[in-house]
Amino acid sequence: MRLVSVNKLRLDSKIAVDIYDNYGQIILYKNTNVTQPIIHKLDYMNIEYIYITDEYCLSNPESLFMAQLDNMGEVISKLEELGKASFEGTATEEIVMEAYFTVEDIVEELFKKKEYLKIRYIPDKMTGNTTAGTIIYMSIMTAIFGIKAGLAKEEVENLFMASLLKDVGIISPYLKNLQNAYQLHPALAYNYLSKKYFLHSDVLVGILHHHEMIDGTGFPQKLQGHSIHKFAKIIQLMEMFFELKLSHKILGNMNTQLKPKLSELFKKYDVHFLEILLDNTEFFSLDTMVELSNGDIGVVVKNRECDVFFPAIQIIKTKSEKFLLNEVIDLEKFSDIEIERIIYYLDNESSL
């Protein structure tokens, strides 16, 4: 399955994963063929990305958490409610407890299917009219990270909650307008949440430390190394991963610029957890369609564990004479070839 922007979506594309609104109701079922009314419906619901499937999609959809969670609708509904209420300062004890129960259910399902799951970027606006979509998806990815890191079930549940609530200090209308709010938001969130709700101490400390960096350049306390809570080390890596994907920094000049840039960036993060992230991530999700710098077009068919930024590509359209149609190439072995851009359809007219 392949992620496609709704504004580039083509008629008769087949929807690969059920699509939900912010109440957790399915509004479009997988295997539905896209029509013009469906595109209008997606626009109306403020949904910007969906997964499609076609003859160039070769991967198993089980690697995507949304295809694994039987209760995805309830997940969205309950966590959206907690996110909105906590940001507004109106979350009751009942809402918090309901969210905890939902998180327990999610984590239970993730543990059952952990061998299928990968850490991957999920863009905002994949759920209709949600205020906490990215936060929910990142928190689920963070939970998968915790499972891959060997955390116990209760720890993963608390890690999930820390990720979900970490930015209350900059989103809450009661806190975001304070002077130096961004630099202080971890401490603001810690104080606010500890006074208002009965949260586990690991949740609170994880939130307090989530901008502390291994080299001491973080905030608000400029902690270093082992002084930083493990939840925070995981959360900050997920934030970095999502930011890299969101900004598409890896596109263009990969071989000459990417590795030195990332090597410098990675010095700020815990080496142990960084290795776990790189071993369990799909930086380029399988089935992603790409144009190479020589004009050839291919799809990602395998991620290399030793270097996730240089995947194996199957050529599906040739413009050069360098590769054969359907040939699978390892980008690491070709210093003169790089990924030029991600595209949505084979004719190359629709791209990021």
Please indicate, yes or no, whether residues 104 and 220 belong to a single structural domain of this protein. Answer: yes
Query: Number of structural domains, the chain?
Result: 2
Domain co-membership, 200 together with 326: no
pLDDT for 62 beyond 60 = no
Is it the case that residue 243 has pLDDT exceeding 90?
Answer: no
DSSP-derived 3-state class of residue 289: strand
Rounded mean pLDDT of 59-85? 67
Is the pLDDT confidence value at 22 over 60? Answer: yes
Q: What domain range is 146 assigned to?
A: 59-234
Give the residue from 209, 234, 259 where a domain finishes: 234
Whether residues 198 and 319 share a domain: the answer is no
Q: Is residue 316 part of a domain?
A: yes
Mean pLDDT for the chain overall? 83
The DSSP element (H or E) to which 185 belongs, if any, is helix 181-196
Which tokens in the block code for residue 38? 């469906």
Q: Are strands 14-15 and 328-330 parallel, antiparallel or unpaired?
A: unpaired
11 has pLDDT over 60: yes
Is 273 contained in some domain?
no
Q: Residue 263 has what pLDDT?
A: 72
pLDDT in tens, 161-199: 999 999 886 666 655 566 666 788 899 889 988 988 889
Model confidence pLDDT, tens digit, residues 294-343: 999 999 998 876 677 788 999 999 998 899 999 999 988 998 898 888 89
pLDDT band at 345 (very low <50, low <70, confident <90, very high): very high
CATH number at residue 192: 1.10.3210.10
More confident residue, 249 or 289: 289
* Within a domain: 12: no
73 pLDDT higher than 70 = no
Confidence of residue 158 (pLDDT cuts 50, 70, 90): very high
- Is residue 102 domain-shared with residue 216, that is, in the same domain? yes
Confidence (pLDDT) at 178: 63
Same domain, yes or no: 68 and 215: yes
Three-class SS state of 195 = helix
Predicted confidence (pLDDT) per residue in 117-157, tens digit = 888 877 665 555 555 667 888 899 999 999 999 999 999 99
Give me the percent of the chain exceeding a pLDDT of 70. Answer: 82
Q: 77 with 226, same domain?
A: yes
165 and 67 belong to one structural domain? yes
24 domain-assigned: no
What per-residue confidence (pLDDT) applies to 250?
Answer: 46
Residue 148 burial (CB count, 10 A): 19
| pLDDT category of residue 256 using cuts at 50, 70 and 90 | very low
pLDDT tens for residues 265-293? 788 999 999 999 988 887 788 899 999 99
Note whether 71 and 188 are same-domain residues.
yes
Give the domain-ending residue among 206, 234, 262. Answer: 234
Domain boundary among 234, 258, 280: 234
Query: Which residues lie closer than 8 Å to 26 by C-beta, 6 or more apart?
Result: 18, 19, 20, 73
If pLDDT is split at 50, 70 and 90, which confidence band does 225 have? very high
Q: What is the pTM of this model?
A: 0.84
Would you say residue 201 has pLDDT above 70?
yes
Tell me what pLDDT residue 185 has.
87
What is the predicted pLDDT for the residue at 255?
Answer: 45
- Evaluate whether residue 272 is within a structural domain: no
Which residues, 6 or more positions from 157, have their beta carbon under 8 angstroms from its beta carbon? 100, 103, 104, 107, 143
- Asked if residue 203 belongs to a domain, the reply is yes
| pLDDT for the residue numbered 70 | 62
295 and 216 inside one domain: no
201 with 64, same domain: the answer is: yes
Pick the more confident residue, 259 or 86: 86
Decide if 325 is inside a domain.
yes
> For residue 96, is it within any domain?
yes
Same domain flag for 227 and 300? no
- Regarding whether 295 and 207 lie in a shared domain, the answer is no
Parallel, antiparallel, or unpaired: how do β-strands 312-317 and 297-302 relate?
antiparallel
* CA atoms of 192 and 186, how far apart (whole Å): 10
